[in-house]
Structure 1
Amino acid sequence: MLNKPEEFIMAVLAGIWVAITFIICRYLQLPTDTGLLVTTLTLIWALVFFLLWQRGRTSNIWPVFLGLLVMCWWRAIYYSSTEIILNNDNSTSTLVHWYGSWTALIIYALIPLIAGYGFKWWQHKRRKPQQPV
Structure 2
Amino acid sequence: MLNKPEEFIMAILAGIWVVITFIICRYLQLPTDTGLLVTTLTLVWALVFFLLWQRARTRNIWPLFLGLLVMCWWRAIHYGSSEIMLNSDGSTTKLIHWYGSWTALIIYALIPVIAGYAFKWWQHKRQRPQPSA
CA distance in 1, matches of 2:132, 2:7: 37
Unaligned 5+ runs, structure 2: none
> SS in structure 2 opposite 1:39?
helix
> SS in structure 1 opposite 2:2?
coil
Q: Which residue is 1:15 aligned to?
A: 15
Q: Which amino acid aligns with 2:6?
A: E
> SS in structure 2 opposite 1:84?
strand
Deviations 1:96-120 (A, max 9, x none): 0000000000000000000000000
TM-score for the superposition, normalised by structure 2: 1.00
Cα displacement (A) at 1:88: 0.8
Q: Which residue is 1:120 aligned to?
A: 120
Q: Which residue is 1:102 aligned to?
A: 102
Q: Which amino acid aligns with 2:43?
A: L
TM-score for the superposition, normalised by structure 1: 1.00
Q: Which amino acid aligns with 2:112?
A: P
CA distance in 1, matches of 2:82, 2:19: 26
Cα displacement (A) at 1:39: 0.1
After TM superposition, the structure 1 = structure 2 runs for residues 14-93 of structure 1, keeping only pairs within 5 Å, are 14-93=14-93
Runs of 4+ in 1 over 4 A off after TM superposition: none
Cα displacement (A) at 1:131: 0.3
Q: Which residue is 2:4 aligned to?
A: 4
What's the C-alpha RMSD, in Å, of the aligned pairs? 0.2
CA distance in 1, matches of 2:89, 2:34: 30
Deviations 1:4-55 (A, max 9, x none): 0000000000000000000000000000000000000000000000000000
Q: Which amino acid aligns with 2:56?
A: G
Unaligned 5+ runs, structure 1: none
CA distance in 2, matches of 1:90, 1:16: 46
